[in-house]
Each structure stands twice: as C-alpha cells, then as structure tokens.
Amino acid sequence: QKEVEQNSGPLSVPEGAIASLNCTYSDRGSQSFFWYRQYSGKSPELIMSIYSNGDKEDGRFTAQLNKASQYVSLLIRDSQPSDSATYLCAVFMEYGNKLVFGAGTILRVKS
C-alpha cells in the first residue's frame, strides 16, 4: 500500500461545476495535510493546508479531512479552465519526519 494514494485521473469537469479530488493515506498518526497545484512545466504551489477534522474553506477551494477514515479531499467550486492542472496531495508522516506526496490527479476543466 502506498503511503499517499490519489486517483491519477484525468478528472474532467465542465466549467462552473464542482471538482472533487480525493486522497487517502496510510499513517494513522498524521496530523498535517496539504494540497498543491502544479501547472505543466511549473513547480508545485501550495494552495491549501488542513490540520483538523472537518472542512476548511478558502475562496473557491474547500479542503475536507476525516482522520478516522484516513481521507482528505479538495473541492473546487465554480471550476474554471485556469484550474486545469495536476493536484498533489501531501501528508506529513510523523514517524519519518517527512512530507510524502501522492502521484497527483490531473484535472481538466472544459469550457
């Protein structure tokens, strides 16, 4: 089992729809979770962090965390073509003192 798993996609959504990106992780002791956005040919950019169970909203982005299910998600409301990118889930693993990344989900927003 991979430490952090994401569906590779691509996930295709129409413009204006809600995009839902999901991530599961293996370390039950993890406390810190991050979402990065990476455009083609660019470096990853931190867009959300979440540390407590529940929802955290920032503009059109909402991160959701369920530690009991070891599940973290990212919702993008009113999706725009400019949201088309690869989204990386990252989990800080306490046992190894390291940030572990999923392989990423490709999101395509069609106008």
Partner 1 sequence: DAGITQSPRHKVTETGTPVTLRCHQTENHRYMYWYRQDPGHGLRLIHYSYGVKDTDKGEVSDGYSVSRSKTEDFLLTLESATSSQTSVYFCAIRGTSGTYEQYFGPGTRLTVT
Of 105, 89, 90, 84, which Cα lies nearest the Cα of 40?
A: 84
In the shown chain, the binding pattern of residues 37 to 56 toward partner 1, with x for contact by CB under 8 A and - for none, equals -----xxxxx--x-x-----
Q: Verify binding: residue 103, partner 1, rule CB under 8 A.
A: yes
SS3 of 28, please?
coil
Of the candidates 105, 85, 79, which has an alpha carbon nearest to the alpha carbon of residue 42?
Answer: 85
| Residue with smaller CB distance to partner 1, 15 or 53 | 53
- List the interface residues with partner 1, window 19-38 (CB under 8 A): 32, 34
Site string (78-97) toward partner 1, x via CB under 8 A = ----------x-x-x-----
The answer for residues whose C-beta is within 8 angstroms of residue 76's C-beta and 6 or more apart is 18, 19, 21, 60, 61, 83, 107
Q: At its nearest, how many Å lie between partner 1 and the CB of residue 48?
A: 10
